Amino acid sequence: MFDAPNLNTSPHTGCIQGDAGTALTGLPLSNRGVDSPEGMKTWAGIDWVAGSVDLFDVLREVSDTYSWRDLETIGEHLKCFGPKPKPKGSEADENGELVVGSQYVFVPADANVRACALDVFQYFFEGCAMQLSRDAGPGKFYAYRYMLRNLQDQPCGMIELGGSLTLRKDTGRPSVRIELTGLGCSLFEQRGNASADHAQLWCAFRAKLERVGAQLTRVDVAYDDFLGVNSVKHAECMWDLGEFDYKFGPEMKRPEAKEFNDKGSGKGCTFYVGNSSSEKQLRVYEKGKQLGDRESPWVRWELQFRSSTRKKLSLDILTDPMAYMRGAFECLDFVASCMKRLEVTGEASKACIKSVMRHARRMYGATFHQLRLLAPDRESFLQLIERLETEKVPRWAKTGRPTWDDVFVSNDPTESSSESST
């Protein structure tokens, strides 16, 4: 087989060859819209990012008015909150430090703490259709956790800061933890522009991280196969054949694996290679069914990378995620992308709407039918429906961009009417 990839180096070369042998520099091949094989319908990209940065570096990038005396004052202030070291004992770790957030009294964040969080938010995420929560809760290791939310108040990430146990070991300066979920990554890529060049945005994000001493701790790279050509069963067969085996010393080792079988319930099957605490774990699951569409062939291959004391995550993964995914396991050489993130959002919306329409038909279909028969005319029936409305945005309509065509197509009249309740 092959040796485990070195995550400290970029897996792509500095340039690729264009037509007539001309060199194309800049973005790697996987971010140039490389087409999948004809007839494929796929997308691949970043779906989760987490890491820490140097707070002082961020503040100096945001404003050059900060003096070192100002920064030291801020650092001393942040050290006053959060978990504190404790003498080594039954409740402490091997370093004699108690790092469980529930063991200390939480003190609400003051204006100075929030000002630091706002500066971090503006430096990384300004203009991304996200907002910083007004109040902070306690973090696990950090004193304060500010949630990032979209305009519909759905969580899409977080910013954590403060605490004496979160100082950088190399400099002793305060660190800040940032995290973007899948929804957060989607909002970051679009930045209010459906046709945004996501590759350029991630390149800019990487450059910002590099300027503030970033250390990535987790990055998830996702590959969506909307036609289900590479299925969950495909992944299981690959594991059985040893295609995920890796070299450990003189021997070949097979990573641990586990599966979740929905037993035909339509909720979707999942297959795992590796475990969530290791440097990499592959999750293959039926994404469309997870979103509620029992007939969807949509399968997601999701590779989670984590840093460790032995191997650090390079910032290069942000600008060439597909190459890292292919390099993690040689058998993932089929990973390619021919769709934009916006199209992925559309596919997710369709799956959710199909589930909503099925639920509405099953729960209220018979009731609506009887009410229509009782109504003296069509106009009276429509007026009744309008009176039943509430001016709230349902959860399924918050993250996607559903259209009437999606609703119409999802309302399949061939589904058995026996599912409707009275």
* Rounded-to-integer distance, Cα 114 and Cα 123, Å: 14
Instruction: Look up residue 348 and give its two tokens.
Output: 């997710």
Strand, helix or coil for residue 114: helix
- Spatial contact of 3 and 249, defined as CB atoms under 8 Å apart: no
- Spatial contact of 194 and 129, defined as CB atoms under 8 Å apart: no
* Rounded-to-integer distance, Cα 50 and Cα 129, Å: 19
CA trace torsion 416, 419, 420, 421 (10° rounding): 160
CA 257 to each of CA 57, 105, 240: distance values in angstroms, whole numbers, following the listed order: 41, 41, 10
pLDDT tens string, the chain, 422 residues long: the values are 434 333 333 333 333 333 334 333 333 333 333 444 556 788 889 999 999 999 999 999 999 888 999 999 999 999 999 887 765 555 655 555 555 544 578 899 999 999 999 999 999 999 888 999 999 999 988 999 999 999 888 999 999 999 999 999 889 999 999 999 999 998 898 764 544 456 788 999 999 999 999 999 999 999 999 999 999 999 999 999 999 999 888 999 999 999 999 998 989 999 999 998 899 999 999 999 988 888 889 999 999 999 998 899 999 999 999 999 999 999 999 988 665 555 666 666 666 777 677 777 778 888 888 888 888 998 888 888 888 888 777 766 665 566 666 666 555 544 444 444 44
Strands 155-161 and 15-17: unpaired
- Per-residue pLDDT, 157: 97
Strands 130-132 and 251-253: unpaired
CA 373 to each of CA 188, 367, 368, 369, 380: distance values in angstroms, whole numbers, following the listed order: 49, 10, 9, 6, 11
Q: Counting beta carbons within 10 angstroms of the beta carbon of residue 219, is it exposed (0 to 12), middle (13 to 18) or buried (19 or more)?
A: buried
* Rounded-to-integer distance, Cα 269 and Cα 319, Å: 31
Q: Which amino acid is at 91?
A: E
- Per-residue pLDDT, 393: 73
- Per-residue pLDDT, 394: 75
* Rounded-to-integer distance, Cα 300 and Cα 131, Å: 28
Instruction: Look up residue 231 and give its two tokens.
Output: 């299925």
* Rounded-to-integer distance, Cα 355 and Cα 398, Å: 15
- Spatial contact of 325 and 224, defined as CB atoms under 8 Å apart: no
Strands 130-132 and 144-150: antiparallel
Among candidate residues 217, 207, 214, 203, the one with its CA nearest the CA of residue 50: 217
- Per-residue pLDDT, 42: 86
* Rounded-to-integer distance, Cα 399 and Cα 129, Å: 12
* Rounded-to-integer distance, Cα 179 and Cα 216, Å: 10
Provide Rg for the chain, Cα atoms.
25
* Rounded-to-integer distance, Cα 181 and Cα 222, Å: 12
Instruction: Look up residue 109 and give its two tokens.
Output: 């964040």
Residue that has been written with the tokens 């987490």 in this structure:
50
Residue that has been written with the tokens 């026996």 in this structure:
418
CA 291 to each of CA 15, 67, 191, 260: distance values in angstroms, whole numbers, following the listed order: 39, 50, 25, 16
Among candidate residues 192, 163, 205, the one with its CA nearest the CA of residue 76: 163
DSSP-derived secondary structure for 45-85: EEEEEEEEEEHHHHHHHH-TT--HHHHHHHHHHHTTSS--B
- Per-residue pLDDT, 34: 41
* pTM above threshold 0.85: no
Instruction: Look up residue 354 and give its two tokens.
Output: 């199909």
Instruction: Look up residue 390 and give its two tokens.
Output: 């509430």
